[in-house]
Chain A
Amino acid sequence: MHEVSLAQDILAISMESLKNRPFEKVVVVNLKIGPVSGVDPEALRFALTVVTENTPLAGAEVRIETPPMRLECRDCRQEFAGDDSEFSCPACGSSRIQLLSGDEMEVVNLEVLERS
């Protein structure tokens, strides 16, 4: 349950990027959270509603993109989609597998309403 810490980081990163920028309100927070990042998206959403209270991010919609998990065999270089129960290469059977993507935790951007 480190989602509260992550939510605080997301808030800090967002506030930093809004510095010196006139805006009316933050409408959407776009995040990228990989399926094997160790983050529970629902817990993160809840944590964000709590830590953004009384900040410019309060009430913003949180959109979480989940990039697919991609693996690569270190022996035959075969790339394949996987889950964490996959421990061998579908092409050559090797168990020397590395993660290409799926552990992302990223703030992609904010959608803001400009001050009119």
Chain B
Amino acid sequence: MKEIVPIQQKVVARNDDLAARLAGQFADRRIYVFNLLSSPGSGKTSLLERLLPRLSAQLRCGVIEGDVQTENDARRIARVGAPVRQIITCGTCHLDAQMILDHVDGLPLNELDVIFIENVGNLVCPSSYWLGEDSRLVILSTTEGDDKPAKYPAVFRKADLLVINKIDLLPHTDFDPDQAVRYARGLNPDLVVFPVSCRTGEGLDSLAAWLVDKVLEKKGSSS
């Protein structure tokens, strides 16, 4: 006799459960969490290197770095003075909630207002895995195609913030920022966009101000 075992469960249900647990821990401690996603080389680590000094007067920041190999990024973040933990995924193309649970206690959680999780450079897989974050920040750089949002819709659809990096290089590329934003907002009309250059510093102060507002909003509403 053949029998049906009903399941009707999301494939990533276990990850979602663990992520909800993380979100609860972050809420209890009033820590705001950003999940940073982009393709390799768009400037996730550079953005953190430039942002952290701009945030440190108002916010106590911690960082979790995700990479397939090496602790290079954690070393770069440590040099700007922020507490950091490195997750090495040994081949896995995304971070998941279990990895965050395994490493988050290595950060001084009672002394933090915000955690930036730098995901593995990849525009596909990380989008399926909630890490308990409050917001997703996607970085797109002007040396990539301006049709990236059209090619990798899931990651842009689930993002809250789009940072267009390397705008100092615009005169040397065919990247059309308006076109990129048009594609991205077509998928996600509420997307907030900040064009920046990590090299020249352009746009970083307004981005930092926006991040501070977001974090303080959460702290205020949960106090």
Chain A contact residues, CB within 8 Å of chain B: 1-2, 5-6, 9-10, 12-14, 17-18, 21, 23, 27, 31, 36-38, 74, 84-85, 87-88, 95-99, 103, 105-114, 116
Contact = CB atoms under 8 A, between A and B. Distances in A.
A116 B1 CA distance: 8
Contact of A1 (B9, B15, B93, B157): B93
A110 B4 CA distance: 6
Contact of B1 (A95, A97, A106, A114): A114
Contacts of A87: 150, 182-183, 186-187
Given A6-B128, A111-B5, 13 more contacts: A2-B124, A10-B11, A23-B3, A31-B11, A38-B154, A74-B189, A84-B187, A87-B150, A96-B185, A97-B187, A106-B8, A107-B9, A109-B5
Interface of B: 1-15, 92-94, 96, 124-125, 127-129, 150, 153-154, 157, 182-183, 185-187, 189
A109 B7 contact: yes
A97 B7 CA distance: 31
Nearest to A28: B2
B8 A38 contact: no
Given A2-B94, A9-B14, A17 B7 contact: yes
Interface centre among A6, A36, A87, A112, by most B CB within 10 Å?
A87
Contacts of A107: 7-11
B129 to A, nearest CB: 8
Contacts of B183: 87
A13 B73 CA distance: 35
A75 B6 CA distance: 38
B97 to A, nearest CB: 12
10 contacts: A6-B12, A9-B13, A17-B5, A37-B154, A84-B150, A88-B186, A98-B189, A107-B8, A107-B11, A114-B3
| Chain A contact surface mostly | mixed
B128 A38 contact: yes
B186 A9 contact: no
Nearest to A98: B189
| Chain B contact surface mostly | mixed
A88 B189 CA distance: 11
Contacts of B7: 13-14, 17, 107-110
A1 B125 contact: yes
Given A9-B11, A12-B14, A87-B183, A95 B94 contact: no
A113 B9 CA distance: 21
A111 B12 contact: no
Contact of A5 (B1, B5, B92, B154): B92
A23 B4 CA distance: 11
B11 A38 contact: no
B153 A13 contact: no
Contacts of A14: 7
